[in-house]
């Protein structure tokens, strides 16, 4: 299991959280997605043999949220 933290610009509405979490959890290979509203961080656990971190960043960006930084472990 691989973990990634995506740093976004600060989120402005709670509905943004649901939108991002829903899109990521529907992505094949994602086991968990959690958005931390106040810090603008998105924590994701995923199977790296199925999906890559840059693909998850693309999912977030297509929703209109620029990814500022990504940390994968």
CB atoms within 10 A of CB 44: 29
- How high is the pLDDT of residue 13? 85
- Domain of 23? 2-72
Q: Measuring CA to CA, which residue among 47, 49, 59, 73 is closest to residue 8?
A: 59
pTM: 0.93
Q: 12 vs 15, 30, 37, 47, 56, CA distance in Å? A: 9, 25, 8, 30, 21
| CATH number where 32 lies | 3.30.70.100
Mean pLDDT of the chain: 95
pLDDT tens digits for 16-50?
Answer: 999 999 999 999 999 999 999 989 999 999 999 99
Which string of DSSP letters, residue by residue, matches 47-58? -TTT--HHHHHH
Encode pLDDT of 50-71 as tens digits: 999 999 999 999 999 999 999 9
Count of domains for the chain:
1
């Amino acid at each position: 299991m691989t973990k990634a933290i995506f740093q976004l610009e600060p989120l402005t509405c709670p509905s943004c959280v649901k939108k991002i979490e829903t899109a990521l959890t529907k992505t094949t290979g994602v086991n968990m997605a959690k958005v931390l509203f106040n810090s603008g961080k998105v924590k994701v656990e995923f199977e790296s043999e199925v999906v890559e971190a840059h693909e998850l960043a693309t999912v977030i960006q297509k929703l209109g949220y620029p990814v500022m930084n990504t940390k994968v472990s």
